[in-house]
Amino acid sequence: MKKCGKFAAWLMLAVIVMVSMAAGAGYVNRHLRKMVYEERKLQLDQVTIQLRMNLMNELNNQWEILAAAEKVLAEHAGPEEPEQEILAQVKRMNRLLNAEAQNAFLMLLDEKGNCFDAGGRRGIWGDIDQIADSDKRHTFVSDSSNYDGVYWAFVSGLDHPVSLAGRDSRITHIVWMKDINSIDRYYDSETYGEKNETYILKENGTRMYDNTESGDTISSYNVFKVLREAEHLQADGFEGTKAQLLRQKTACTNIRLDGTEYYYSLASLQPYGTILMFLIPAEYVAPSTMKMVNSVIRICLVIALIFITMAILFVYLFSTLRSRTQLYKQEQENLRKQEELNDALSSSMNASQEAFQIAEAANQAKSKFLSNMSHDIRTPMNAIVGLSTLLSREADNPERVREYTRKIIVSSQHLLGLINDVLDMSKIESGQTTLNVREFSLADAVEEIAVIMRPQVKAKQQTFEIAVRDIQSELVIGDKLRLNQILINLLSNAVKYTPAGGAIWLNVMQLSQTGKNYARFRFEVRDNGVGMSEDFQMKIFEPFTREENSMTERVQGTGLGMAITKNLIDLMGGTIAIKSRLGEGSTFTVDVEFRLQEMEINQEFWKHHGITHMLVVDDEIDICTDIINTMSETGVAMQQATDGRTAVSMAGQAVKDGRDFDLILLDWKMPGMDGIETARQIRRVVPKQIPIMVLTAYDWSEIEEEALEAGINGFLPKPFFITNFKQTVERIADTGAELADAEEKAGKLAGKHFLAAEDHEINAEILQELLHMKGADVDIAENGRKAVEMFEQSRPGQYDAIFMDIQMPVMSGYEAARQIRACGHPDAKEIVIIAMTANTFAEDVQEALKAGMNAHTAKPVDMEQLERILDEQWSRG
């Protein structure tokens, strides 16, 4: 008994020692972590404050340069100067300030927003709204389309504006444009061995410029969104860091992104409306401190190991004194633990089996996806093949040829977009898909969708209606291809899951404007098809997922379209909502925000074409109301009728009153008297010179001959967009405009001589034929090295531009472009080089520009786009 009591005392002592060690280790660990964080934070704060001061000093220095230029201008410019003298003064000041060496240039602005620079370029400055207030000085980061690149813009109002001789405007501001890349040395630190990433952000967190040569950890357009969602390792989190930034102008903390610890630091450049941010992996922040901490931890581990070894030794020595009963109990306890271990092992094997089954199901789903992908590809291919057949039958009808060709091009572009999505699958799954943001027209987007969808709907004998409501801004800035992809996915599903004879609707409307230059748009896709169960609606956006029941088992699909759709909508910052019931159909509502293009209402257009009084006829009162609202700011007096007989009566009465309608717009499909019969009746009471148009959602080739005989002058597709309407008015007013435009476009390339690097014989032949049709000549090089040799051997001015394929044998297009730029040929620096390749991802475009090329266009070649790119590049030269 004494031995047992003694053993128990020693055992209790060993337990106390081990618990104390564990508590001490925990305390030391917390203390060391806190010490490491404070040391790293202190060092990062000091570096950030110094870099902020460096950058602020450099930006202030730019103000001094601008002040000197303003003084020179005031001394040498009189109250009124000829425009050429003003441009000459800008050139002299650029030379005086050595602007080219500083990667900067001077620019003047007149009171109407026109810019004038040393190169003689002029036009409305894209950032003129930034200086709309009455302050004398303004500064901001500019990425205006007037100039390539990103610049710090320093703007100062002139104390004594200079009038331009012979013009009704005055020079009111002088601008110093500083290339942002030329000042990165003032805020890029070498303290962290070039492992840091640098971002310049707007105050709301959207990136304006970044230097991420060591990697692109944050690829999102809004950096604050990523930081807000990241795991902050300190209690105050992102909002606390922002509050510290407001108080102290700098702030830093640590986060965990994708399992890796980072430190980020923010510095407010308050006078410039921007924020400077550094992102550094934790291992590169205060590494000497980490070495010391690791040494302390190793020492503590050695000491702890010694104490544990001693405790185990004491327990072992006294464990031999336990009685057989205790040994028996221990054996029983060991047996119990063994059984628990066996149970855990069995559970682990079951879990492994389940994981294997899940992986097997995923592989089967992907195999099914690949076998069914042909269905999605056939949709545009069927349109291309069918339209090509019609094209061969209508070769002697120019109007039909142009219409079928346009539809083939639209379907081909959709097919290319689908192929790009398949190739880009890994990027979509990893969240690295990027947007191609540019200006586009909602009218063009809706028309492209209608061209692709109507053959599918017609094949299933379904009805398809497009309605537009409250669209005040047709011209927007966004990713049109992604928007079309989203809507075509939703509409294709509606066609597939709606029986023959069903109906599908696409409603487009503009919601409230979210800011001065932004508005939200709603796209609603509705059908009366088979619908979905509530359970399936919860998982519809999961990859490779389809609902299986008696109504859908005959429908082919990949199960991937909705997952891609949801990912793209999230990427665009939008939302998607679903309302559906089995047997009653489905409604998908997509809300996205677009930046608005500046669009000036031109009332002179309507006066110039003699349109001041107009009649709209449609049996749907909502369509009439929407057209009248859309035309409300044009100055055209609008009247409406909801049936053909009323329209005939109103047209006749207008003639009697001497208040003729200048244009009449008729719906084709109306109950009672349709649009063609209504036009025939109206022609009996109105003069022949009054144009009559038919507004229709159907293929007007079905009624074209009958409509022309009835006195109809033109056709306008539904839904009504004012841009389409103006184009149709211009076509009617000048039937030769389209031919003249084609001749003008052909003239842009006539007489030009090009060099093209293309290893594919058929592609080279196609390019030759396309250029010959435009009156141009082209020399073909079968690889990059041959292209370099042909250019080096050419005489100065022999080639107007170079078209460069990327993937070629012997030498790639990237290397060929670099060697051309570096060679001693007189045209090497200035000649336009355009990447012409099937590699269309954003990184491919950037790689082409880094190699020295001027622009990028995708294969197959779009001649209109190619001419537009060449025209832009030549005008800059």
**Top mean-pLDDT range of 268-277, 538-547, 696-705:** 268-277
The DSSP bridge partners found for residue 265 are: 252, 278
CA–CA gap between residue 506 and residue 588 (Å, rounded): 10
The amino acid occupying position 183 is I
Task: State pLDDT tens for residues 350-374.
Answer: 766 776 676 666 566 565 555 555 5
Residue with tokens 């932004």: 518
pLDDT confidence band for 821 (50 / 70 / 90)? very high
Q: Give the three-state DSSP class for 132.
A: coil
- Residue 170 sits at φ, ψ, to 5 deg, of -125, 150
Give me the mean pLDDT over the 579-605 stretch: 83
pLDDT at residue 427, as a whole number: 58
CA–CA gap between residue 401 and residue 390 (Å, rounded): 9
pLDDT confidence band for 72 (50 / 70 / 90)? confident
pLDDT confidence band for 789 (50 / 70 / 90)? very high
pLDDT at residue 749, as a whole number: 85
Residues 6+ apart with CB under 8 A from 66: 154, 156, 174, 175, 176
Q: Note whether 693 and 728 are within 8 A (CB).
A: yes
- Taking the CB of residue 688, how many other CB atoms lie within 10 A of it? 8
CA–CA gap between residue 839 and residue 855 (Å, rounded): 13
Query: pLDDT over 90 for what percent of the chain?
Result: 13
Q: How many Å separate Cα 247 from the centre of its chain?
A: 35
CA–CA gap between residue 522 and residue 524 (Å, rounded): 6
Residues 6+ apart with CB under 8 A from 712: 666, 676, 679, 692, 693, 694
Q: What is the DSSP secondary-structure string of 645-674?
A: HHHHHHHHHHHHTT---SEEEEESS-SSS-
Q: Note whether 557 and 543 are within 8 A (CB).
A: no
With a cut of 80, say whether residue 653 has pLDDT above it: yes
pLDDT at residue 213, as a whole number: 65
pLDDT at residue 376, as a whole number: 59
pLDDT at residue 9, as a whole number: 59
Alpha carbons within 13 angstroms on the beta-carbon side of residue 389 total 5
Task: State pLDDT tens for residues 426-472.
Answer: 555 555 567 778 888 888 888 888 878 888 888 888 988 888 887 87
CA–CA gap between residue 864 and residue 793 (Å, rounded): 31
Burial (Cβ within 10 Å: 0-12, 13-18, ≥19) of residue 85 = middle
Classify residue 284 by its DSSP letter. Answer: G
More confident residue, 657 or 549: 657
Q: Nearest-CA neighbor of 213 among 190, 196, 227?
A: 196
With a cut of 80, say whether residue 790 has pLDDT above it: yes
> Would you state the structure tokens that stand for residue 350, as one six-digit string?
């079951």
Question: Helical H runs in 424-515?
Answer: 425-430, 442-459, 480-496
Lowest mean pLDDT segment, chosen from 88-102, 115-129, 318-332, 379-393: 318-332
Give me the mean pLDDT over the 663-667 stretch: 89
pLDDT at residue 591, as a whole number: 94
Burial (Cβ within 10 Å: 0-12, 13-18, ≥19) of residue 664 = buried
Query: pLDDT over 70 for what percent of the chain?
Result: 77
pLDDT at residue 803, as a whole number: 94
CA angle at 548 for the pair 542 and 554, rounded to the nearest 5°:
120
pLDDT at residue 796, as a whole number: 92
pLDDT at residue 746, as a whole number: 46
pLDDT at residue 552, as a whole number: 47
With a cut of 60, say whether residue 593 has pLDDT above it: yes
- Residue 99 sits at φ, ψ, to 5 deg, of -65, -40
Task: State pLDDT tens for residues 313-342.
Answer: 665 665 665 556 676 677 777 778 777 777
Distances (CA, A) of 27 to 90, 297, 308, 662: 68, 12, 18, 88
Q: Give the three-state DSSP class for 408.
A: helix
pLDDT at residue 62, as a whole number: 87
pLDDT at residue 418, as a whole number: 62
Q: Note whether 475 and 599 are within 8 A (CB).
A: yes
**pTM score, two decimals?**
0.41
Q: Which helix (H) or strand (E) holds 26?
A: helix 2-76
The DSSP bridge partners found for residue 201 are: 207, 275
Q: Nearest-CA neighbor of 815 among 779, 785, 855?
A: 785
Task: State pLDDT tens for residues 126-182.
Answer: 778 778 766 788 887 777 767 777 888 889 988 888 888 877 888 889 999 988 888
> Would you state the structure tokens that stand for residue 326, as one six-digit string?
């205790």
With a cut of 60, say whether residue 424 has pLDDT above it: no
pLDDT confidence band for 543 (50 / 70 / 90)? low
Residue with tokens 């026109």: 114
Q: Nearest-CA neighbor of 820 among 832, 809, 810?
A: 832
Classify residue 455 by its DSSP letter. Answer: H
Q: Note whether 845 and 839 are within 8 A (CB).
A: no
pLDDT at residue 289, as a whole number: 65
> Would you state the structure tokens that stand for residue 549, as one six-digit string?
């029941």
pLDDT at residue 736, as a whole number: 40
pLDDT confidence band for 834 (50 / 70 / 90)? very high
Question: Helical H runs in 692-838?
Answer: 704-709, 722-733, 737-749, 761-773, 784-793, 813-822
pLDDT at residue 742, as a whole number: 43
pLDDT at residue 754, as a whole number: 95
Q: Which helix (H) or strand (E) holds 570?
A: helix 561-571
CA–CA gap between residue 659 and residue 805 (Å, rounded): 61
Task: State pLDDT tens for residues 732-774.
Answer: 776 544 444 444 444 578 889 999 999 888 788 888 888 888 8
